[in-house]
Amino acid sequence: MTSTPKKTVATIIPTLRYNDAAAAVEWLCQAFGFEKHLVVPEADGTVAHAELTFDNGMIMLDSVRDNTFAQLQQPPSKKGDVVTQSPYILVDEVDQHYENAIAAGAEIVMEIQDQDYGGRDYSCRDPEGYLWNFGTYDPWSTASPQA
């Protein structure tokens, strides 16, 4: 059973926790082209909550803190750690996006390449070690729904 919230652009919104969420917000906007939708700072300079948009998608992030949610979700403990999930973000100009990510200091872990299934993509890590994937393959335009 599915439920569609009213007046919603995207119904799946990944959440991330950063050791330095304030720096992450700025870096994600510069390197990947996210835009600030909402950033709620704390008095100590950390980020209580942030919402960043990319076209019709969104991510939410905040600073690491000691609360119940921190026992469930934490950033990678060190750069290069294996992660259990990573977003794939559809971009029109993937080659330009790749160049912007490199210029901002992203660690490229899978070079940009054309894929047999269609599209062109690359994978990289941000300064705190999260894995990000960007490409032109659009599963909405090629996949047929299965019942």
- Give the sheet arrangement for strand 131-135, strand by strand: 88-90, 131-135, 120-125, 107-114
pLDDT digits (tens, 9 = 90+) for 18-55: 999 999 999 999 999 999 999 999 999 899 999 999 99
Which range of 12-16, 21-25, 65-69 scores highest in mean pLDDT? It is 21-25
Answer for the pair 73, 21: CB distance below 8 angstroms, yes or no.
no
Percent of the chain with pLDDT over 90: 69
Q: What are the residues whose beta carbons fall under 8 Å from the beta carbon of 117, sequence distance 6 or more?
A: 137
Nearest-angstrom CA–CA distance, 137 and 89: 9
Residue 143 reports pLDDT greater than 90: no
CATH topology for the 15-142 domain: 2,3-Dihydroxybiphenyl 1,2-Dioxygenase; domain 1 (3.10.180)
Residue ranges of domains in the chain: 15-142
Question: Tokens in use for 103?
Answer: 């210029």
Number of Cβ within 10 Å of residue 121's Cβ equals 22
C-alpha closest to that of 121 among 110, 106, 107: 110
Phi, psi of 17 (to 5 degrees): -115, 130
pTM over the 0.85 mark? yes
**Arithmetic mean of pLDDT over the chain:** 89
